[in-house]
Amino acid sequence: MSILETTFDLEQFTKTLNAELNNGLPGFAAQKIMSPSIRDHALKTSDPTIAKDSSVLLLFYPKNGQLYLPFMKRTTGNTSHSGQISLPGGKYEESDENRTITAIRETNEELGVECKKIKILGFLTELYIPVSNFMVLPVLGYCEKRPDFKLSEFEVEEIIEMPVSQLFSDENIGEYTIKKNGIDIIAPYFNAKGHKIWGATAMILSELREIFLRASLIK
């Protein structure tokens, strides 16, 4: 049984995760496990050297004796990611000191989490997203208590709170086919209470899952 499936100890979790991050990141090999089939084709028609800097926040917090992560269903609109399940985050702005600040600011704007209550743990491997031309830095952070979420009505339709042990369980991972612009895309996904997390978000989570497995945070 992992420490995430017992009475949750935030101090022990942060200590264990920090130690594992210091052992190095699994990198793209871990991200690729959950890569959609169209990615290689998309990379051939894009240029990562001119990508826009951005970041997302994986925000851990305790709830009901377990470790949780929040995801959001974006509102339907004209953006390339509208309606998708994603992590809070967005584009780096010149007013941001760095991309960690970007992730914290965007989480505050989208989910209403108070900036001062977010503590940073570290980072995962950068990931290039061809469809939006973003170079995303995944930032790891936590709150000592469940945040008082206040969703941005313009950007967020729904918040999905997932226990990490459930999110990363083998039976919660699947694969399905999506048709976009007449092309069948085979997409590995994580199931989040009936919602499918796929694409770049799933690739980011895939690397995090490998770290959790390596640190025996999950089995």
Q: What's the per-residue H, E or C state across 150-183?
A: CCCCCCEEEEEEEEHHHHCCHHHEEEEEEEECCE
Mean pLDDT of 66-82: 79
- Cite the DSSP H helix spans in 45-189: 99-111, 164-167
| pLDDT beyond 70 at 78 | no
Mean pLDDT calculated for residue range 10-32: 97
Helix (H) or strand (E) holding 30: helix 28-31
Count the Cβ atoms, other than its own, within 10 Å of residue 179.
8
Query: How far, in Å, CA of 121 to CA of 137, rounded?
Result: 13
Indicate the pLDDT class of residue 183, thresholds 50, 70 and 90.
confident
Percentage of the chain modeled with pLDDT above 70: 94
Helices 200-214, 10-21: crossing angle, 10 deg rounding: 100
Q: Report, as an integer, the average pLDDT of 195-218.
A: 97
pLDDT tens-digit readout, 80-134: 455 689 999 999 999 999 999 999 999 999 999 999 999 999 999 999 999 889 9
CATH number, span 3-214: 3.90.79.10
Instruction: Give the domain ranges of the chain.
Output: 3-214
The mean pLDDT value of the chain amounts to 92
The per-residue pLDDT for 48 is 83
pLDDT confidence band for 41 (50 / 70 / 90) = confident
Look at residue 182 and tell me whether its pLDDT is greater than 50.
yes
What is the rounded average pLDDT of the residues 42-57?
A: 88
Region 56-81 average pLDDT: 86
pLDDT for 77: 62
Q: Which residues on adjacent β-strands are paired with residue 60?
A: 142
pLDDT of res. 158: 96
| Type of residue at 194 | G
Q: Which residue has the higher pLDDT, 45 or 200?
A: 200
Q: What is the model's pTM?
A: 0.93
Are the beta carbons of 197 and 190 closer than 8 angstroms?
A: yes
